[in-house]
Copies of this chain bind each other. A is one copy, B any other.
Amino acid sequence: MDQNQNLEVKSTDLDGLLDAQEDESSKWYTKTIIQSELADYSPVKGCMVIRPYGYALWENIQRVLDKMIKDTGHQNAYFPLFIPESFLNKEKQHVEGFAPECAVVTHGGGKKLEEPLIVRPTSETIINHMFAKWVQSWRDLPLLINQWANVVRWELRTRMFLRTTEFLWQEGHTAHASEAEARHESLKMLDVYKTLAQDYLALPVLTGEKTENERFAGAVNTYAIEAIMRDGKALQAGTSHYLGQNFAKAFEIQFQNADGELEFAYQTSWGVSTRLIGAIILGHGDTKGLILPPKIAPIQVVIVPIYKNDNEKTTVLETCHNLIKNLKEKIRIHLDDRDNYTPGFKFNHWEQRGIPLRLNIGPKDVANNCVEMVLRIDGQKIPKTPLADLENILIGYLEKEQQRLFDRALSYRQENTHTVKSIAELSELIAKSPCFIQAYWQGDSHNEQQIKQDTGATIRVLMDSNVIGKCILTGKETSKIAIFAKAY
């Protein structure tokens, strides 16, 4: 077998990807997850098993985000999984939003419970019950808490990572002495999410406010980061809510302000979940499988040794082991020394798993003190990469590939964002193929519902423009720009 034939990796065919995703988008998505061993089906309806490769990706995301959450002054804590049913009923909008999605524990220890317990769909109610106990004076504020936890929302149509009955997330919950401070907090955390998405996941995101239709149940304002996927659809990747005094009033979180008066606290909550893994898959992947951003890839560099006989094997593997030894401190590197697979099989295997850089090492490379490097994004080959300075070269390429992945996604969003001046234009473009539509907007919830019914598109975020324009529906002047898209 000619090993070199397998090295002929063609540039990623984006058209191929788009066709694949348009025609068989779901199949591609599921196949990619299963084959790359990110996750697996579970025997529990709507729940998935996150396999080690997927969980390592989640741990890397967690590590980055946890640091940002702590650096902005928040502390982690842990609150009960179960919430008394009566708690959920205390905030009217909240219960209306979540009651239909609840899993209910009715029996414990062999007995029927006096009051059923809800498995948390989100923890505002139980956390705010505790906040009421902890907050007395303005000196106790702000209270800046974060929780890493599992939550359960009974979903009818589930999809791995994107919408599962149980999922993992972090939920921040804060209480403040003033509206201004709480509003500032909700936007600050939106910005933290934007940094996470753009600088680490290489996903450019639009930030803005959600319309009433998509607002969190119980919030005054919901803000979101919204990313475009490689099939032109939108994916909400994180939300931050300004809750006003809604929950403070429901749970009696009162504090004595500096003037000695009793006041309800002003609050926020914000969260991102394992859905981010879905965003990475759909936002970067191609026909070959995953493409992972170097900064969070569980394996950043994989080495595939190439040899034809035992002599060559000894020489090549010795070089490989030395490389691992020298590089493993600074780079997440893996040597695929499995004996029972061909190099070609291994190339596919690691491409499918989205490893940013691959090093192919054969006897000639060893003799020449070099290695062949292959870039996952487009299959580009960098032959004769010198072993002498490999650490710096790899670190440089990991940074470059991180940036290139972001730039590629940004270009894709720019190419697939269209400005329209009429509803007709919007409908026509959306019908042609999923994309982002930018339009001046002053409509209401009902109008938005109508557009959703007609085109399948919803408003993903509302943004403020410096320039006034005419609403595509009413023709009235407005500074609000809406991004319409079909969404996951």
Q: Which residues of A contact B (CB under 8 A)?
A: 40, 42-44, 47-52, 54-56, 58-59, 75-84, 87, 99-110, 116-117, 119, 126, 129-130, 133, 139, 145, 149-150, 152, 154-156, 165-166, 168, 340
Contact = CB atoms under 8 A, between A and B. Distances in A.
A129 B50 CA distance: 14
A52 B145 contact: yes
A52 B80 contact: no
Query: What are the 7 closest A-B residue pairs judged by CB atoms, nearest first?
Result: A109-B154, A52-B75, A47-B80, A50-B78, A104-B107, A108-B154, A44-B80
A166 B49 CA distance: 21
Question: Chain A binding site: helix, strand, loop or mixed by DSSP?
Answer: mixed
Contacts of A150: 81, 149-150
B109 A106 contact: no
Given A105-B104, A110-B100, A145-B52, A44 B78 contact: no
A126 B56 contact: no
Nearest to A107: B104
A166 B80 contact: yes
A108 B76 CA distance: 29
30 contacts: A40-B130, A40-B133, A43-B84, A44-B80, A44-B82, A44-B83, A44-B117, A47-B81, A49-B79, A49-B130, A50-B79, A51-B77, A52-B75, A52-B76, A54-B77, A59-B76, A78-B168, A82-B152, A99-B110, A100-B110, A102-B107, A102-B108, A103-B108, A104-B105, A104-B106, A107-B116, A108-B154, A109-B154, A109-B155, A119-B119
Contacts of A44: 80, 82-84, 117, 126
A307 B126 CA distance: 42
Contact of A87 (B43, B75, B102): B43
Contacts of A48: 80
Contacts of A78: 49-50, 55, 58, 168
A13 to B, nearest CB: 32
Nearest to A149: B150
A255 B83 CA distance: 43
Contacts of A40: 130, 133
> Copies of this chain, how many?
2
A117 to B, nearest CB: 7
Contact of A103 (B47, B59, B76, B107): B107
Nearest to A106: B106
Nearest to A147: B55
A152 B105 CA distance: 12
Contact of A76 (B55, B109, B340): B55
A398 to B, nearest CB: 22
A99 B145 CA distance: 35
Given A82-B103, A139-B340, 4 more contacts: A40-B133, A81-B150, A100-B109, A106-B107
Contacts of A117: 44, 103
A156 B109 contact: yes
Contacts of A165: 108
Contacts of A80: 42, 44, 47-49, 166
Contacts of A145: 52
A126 B43 contact: yes
A109 B105 contact: no
Contacts of A154: 108-110
A76 to B, nearest CB: 5
Contacts of A103: 82, 105, 107-109, 117
A50 B119 CA distance: 18
Given A40-B130, A104-B107, A106-B107, A52 B77 contact: yes
A79 B41 CA distance: 10
B77 A49 contact: yes
Contacts of A42: 79-80, 126, 130
A166 B149 CA distance: 13
A257 to B, nearest CB: 16
Contact of A166 (B54, B82, B101): B82
